């Protein structure tokens, strides 16, 4: 299977609290990031929390952009998943700049590849694969408290 998409996960710190707590600034930053990333907007939702914080999601023809802000910590977390066309890195750069991130950790995941390790389950019975019915199939794994 070929790569189906690029998934960027961003942690950003040292951002101005007034920007991170302003739903209109967040809206503008994401909409401009959609344009910068050459993506197609399908739907958009912004919610401001009380006393502070904003969550926004943009549904794209290419997938999505989501952001969650913690103004009290000068921090935001963003998730950009693009499949097909578009440029998630340009979208991410725009978002980081617009929200004036002082420090950024951006991780990239290539999505859609088949796992490199294949598990042979041909000789495993159904009861052995169900942790709810038989925890002895994988004794080194603890499911307690989950």
User: Does 131 or 105 have the greater pLDDT score?
Assistant: 105
The mean pLDDT of the chain is 85
Question: In sequence order, what are the residues at sequence separation of 6 or more whose Cβ sits closer than 8 angstroms to the Cβ of residue 29?
Answer: 94, 95, 98, 99
Residue 120 maps to a domain = no
The active-site residue, picked from 14, 83, 118, 127, is 83
Q: Which residue has the higher pLDDT, 56 or 2?
A: 56
- CA-nearest of 98, 106, 104 to 20 is 98
Give the mean pLDDT of 21-34: 98
Specify whether 63 is catalytic: yes
CATH code at position 26: 3.60.90.10
Instruction: Point out the catalytic residue in the list 63, 64, 118, 127.
Output: 63
Per the structure, how many domains does the chain have? 1
pLDDT of residue 119: 52
Q: Using the predicted structure, report yes or no on whether residue 61 has a pLDDT greater than 90.
A: yes
Q: Which domain holds residue 94?
A: 5-111
Q: Please compute the mean of the pLDDT values over residues 53-58 and round it to a whole number.
A: 98
The answer to the question of residue 131 being in a domain is no
Q: Is 15 a catalytic residue?
A: no
């Amino acid at each position: 299977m070929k790569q189906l998409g690029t998934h960027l996960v961003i942690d950003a710190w040292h951002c101005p609290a007034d920007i991170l707590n302003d739903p209109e600034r967040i809206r503008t930053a994401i909409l401009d990031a959609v344009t910068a990333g050459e993506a197609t907007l399908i739907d958009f939702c912004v919610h401001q929390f009380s006393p502070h914080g904003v969550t926004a999601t943009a549904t794209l023809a290419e997938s999505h952009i989501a952001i969650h802000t913690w103004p009290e910590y000068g921090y935001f977390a963003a998730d950009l998943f693009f499949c097909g066309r578009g440029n998630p890195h340009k979208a991410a750069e725009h978002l980081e700049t617009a929200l004036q991130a002082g420090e950024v950790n951006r991780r990239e995941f290539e999505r859609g590849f088949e796992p490199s390790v294949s598990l042979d389950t041909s000789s495993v019975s159904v009861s052995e694969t169900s942790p709810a019915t038989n925890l002895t199939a994988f004794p080194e794994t603890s499911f307690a408290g989950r």
